[in-house]
Chains A and B, each alone.
Chain A
Amino acid sequence: MRTWLYKVDTRVSPYLYIAPFFLLFAVFGLWPLFYTAYVSLFDWSLLKDEHTFIGLQNYGEMFQDSYFWNALFNTVSILALSTIPQLLLSLLLAHLINRRLRLKTFWRLGMLLPNVTSVVAVAVIFSQLFGRDFGLINWTLEHLGLGRVDWQAGVLSSHIAISTMIIWQWAGYNALIFLAAMQAVPKELYESATLDGATEFQQLRQITIPSIRPTIIFVVMVSTIFGLQVFAQPQLFAGGGGGAALTGGSDRQFQTLTLYLYEHGFSRGFEFGYASSVAWVMFLVIVVFAFINYRLVRRIKK
């Protein structure tokens, strides 16, 4: 009896220990996912009690809506403008901080600070910096004789402003993840490379990057997933909470997919059915992009 119990214990216990996560995931992750798919097949307004089954009509309407494609374009554009510079910056920061430095902990903590600050605070402050009339950035530009920019009005300028907020928030955090991986790279590699006369940049490219490949893949994937869901930054960038905050500017120049979802779910008669179908398409878009990026990054040489 004892040995039997012991056997059961060793075999079953690990599953029991991880079960809570999967149970919670099923309740708060899987179930909403499937329920959203179910809701997306209905004409489902939050304010009404009857919900009519309409099949794939919501999806059809969405694909015909030019504003949806516009939101997809904006999302991908902001993803590219934020993620690529951010990862390069993170690598560089990690590389710099990986050397012998005084006050190591201070620098590392400092890099984490922007990430600890609430998204809302960051977005509010940056929106003021990028302000059209009284923003610090425009003030500086004007004094340099470069003229003012109406950051919110343009497509590219608004995307740059939003990307800056994202970079500010995540560059340091990702740098710390890179740093952790870099510290596991054997020092001898660098020593012999230095003896062979490799420059700092060559060392970064030939030794560091290949050695931390799995970490880079991880960071790229996570950044892609978060980047495609960006919401608070464009919403608060428009400010005011009125129409522009829903549509991402008067011409929808910085309306991301989540903002598009929000516009339909939380105004316009609260079309939760439609918003759910947007959520599902977003999910698929994220899967596709994560896959593409995975294939791209995997090509880094071992």
Chain B
Amino acid sequence: MRRLLIPLLAVGLLASACGGNDTPSGNEKITLTIAGFGDFGFKPLYEEYKKTHPNIEIQERISDYSAHHQSLISHLATNSGAADIEAIEIGYLSSFTATPNRFHNLLDLGAKDLQSTYLPWKWEQGLSTDKKTLVGLGTDVGGMAMCYRTDLFQKAGLPTARDEVSKLWPTWEEYVATGKKYKAALPDSFFMEASGNMFRAIVEQAPQGVYDDNDKLVVETNPLVKKAWDLTVDAIGAGLSNKLTAWTPEWTAAFGKGTFGTIVCPAWMTSYIETNAKDASGKWDIAAVPGGAGSMGGSHLALPKQGKNQKEAFELIKWLTAPEQQKKVFKATGNFPSTPSLYTDPDLTSFSKPFFNNAPLGKIFTASAQAVKPQHQGPKQGDVFNAIGGGLGRIEQGKQAAPEAWTQVLADCKKLA
């Protein structure tokens, strides 16, 4: 009996010892998990953070875009399994800001004083609908530009210098008109990779997109949406679209083969172009996007309520999204900072890349981020764009005429309301 008793006692003592340590003190090891998708460029920063915070251990979990967000939702619903820190892309963020109860309110953790650090519209995006809860701190912003192939433009007899190219298309109508010239000169090449991307860019630039400020769907009633649709249909009809779907193997391969001449490029897209079109260094360049400024993509870092180490986690995301760190991320990955104090930093504004024919990425994306006017995003933002994208896909594949496709899009959107 005695032989049994001692280990039992020891186990009991250990258990109570662990139980007593729910509030971690300064010198104890704390492991923070951070879950994301794609490449946030945080890896080298963790090492740096650990130097000043020796008690923090950081574990990163990376999966692909949809898998990441879907597992986040099931983790939130079942109240277990979420990481201490979760990255949320703007396409999903609006469904969480509509029901923010599963996240720590960052305003209670000390985010109140940080508001001026970030772009006002980036800050807004992280706020709940009632503005009382801050769900996430902004990482990068997707200010748009237009990336284009100088070699293909030259073959098509179009100007190749970025300022002249920007002058070709102050509006999207002129962009499509340029595309028609391009197609006439190069019948085997395509002007853009996918029509859905163009449509999305036009809508994201508008003061009001597919939702109004009260989260009501306005696809049918917002004339700008229909105008964007009609212009996109016109571009499809003229054979400008390569009819690719983003993130598919065909899409990736098309970069390498150089089958299309332009792509709407938010800052984060530049790193995808660089990795997918390795052989095309120096052939890509960056011009202004038609139609003025707009934002596409970008993410926030949020703390699910189930995470216990919210103080330490908040310290970490505050640090990761601080200007210093965002600058490093930008230089490594192209993700553009959401902190305006950097926009006057010569180190950032003078940044350029040989891959993009030495285009001044820093300057271009600064101008683009500063000009963005915020647009309200509704709870099913991503689904609405999927429904419309499906309609454009049906036209591209010749399955439906434009009016039928639009009728089906409206019916699909009604089901989402």
Contact = CB atoms under 8 A, between A and B. Distances in A.
A49 B385 CA distance: 27
B70 A266 contact: yes
Interface in B391-417: 391-394, 396-400, 416
B99 A48 contact: yes
Interface in A216-268: 238-247, 249-251, 266-268
A55 B340 CA distance: 52
A47 B245 contact: no
Contact of B249 (A239, A245, A269): A239
B373 to A, nearest CB: 26
A267 B383 contact: yes
A270 B76 CA distance: 12
A134 B390 contact: no
Contacts of B386: 242-243, 246-247, 267
Nearest to A66: B411
A131 B394 contact: no
A128 B250 CA distance: 8
A250 B397 contact: yes
Nearest to B397: A153
A93 to B, nearest CB: 30
A255 B330 CA distance: 39
B226 interface: no
Contact of B77 (A46, A242, A251): A46
A49 B101 contact: yes
A133 interface: yes
B370 interface: no
Q: How large is the interface on B (under 10, 10 to 19, 20 to 34, 35 or more residues)?
A: 35 or more
Contacts of B245: 238-240, 242, 244
A128 B249 contact: yes
Q: How large is the interface on A (under 10, 10 to 19, 20 to 34, 35 or more residues)?
A: 20 to 34
B387 interface: yes
A50 to B, nearest CB: 11
Given A46-B76, A153-B397, A243-B386, A131 B95 contact: no
B272 interface: no
A47 B390 contact: no
B74 interface: yes
Interface in A122-165: 124, 127-128, 131-134, 150, 153
B73 A270 contact: yes
B389 A242 contact: yes
A4 to B, nearest CB: 31
A240 B397 CA distance: 17
Interface string A148-190: 0010010000000000000000000000000000000000000
A48 to B, nearest CB: 6
B257 A239 contact: no
A85 B336 CA distance: 53
A239 B73 contact: no
B253 A243 contact: no
B239 interface: no
B379 interface: yes
Contact of B382 (A49, A244, A267): A267
A243 B387 contact: yes
Interface in B249-272: 249-251, 253-254, 257, 259
Interface string B157-194: 00000000000000000000000000000000000000
Nearest to B380: A269
B389 A133 contact: no
A24 to B, nearest CB: 20
A127 to B, nearest CB: 6
Which of B98, B397, B400 has most chain A Cβ within 10 Å? B397
A133 B254 contact: yes
B99 A133 contact: no
B95 A250 contact: no
A269 B99 CA distance: 11
B371 interface: no
Contacts of B102: 47
Contact of B385 (A127, A243, A249): A243
B64 A47 contact: no
Interface of B: 64-67, 70, 73-74, 76-77, 95-96, 98-99, 101-102, 245-251, 253-254, 257, 259, 379-380, 382-383, 385-387, 389-394, 396-400, 416
16 contacts: A47-B99, A124-B249, A132-B250, A134-B254, A150-B397, A153-B399, A239-B248, A243-B385, A243-B389, A244-B389, A244-B390, A250-B391, A250-B399, A267-B383, A269-B380, A270-B73
Top 4 A-B pairs, shortest CB-CB distance:
A250-B393, A243-B386, A239-B248, A241-B66
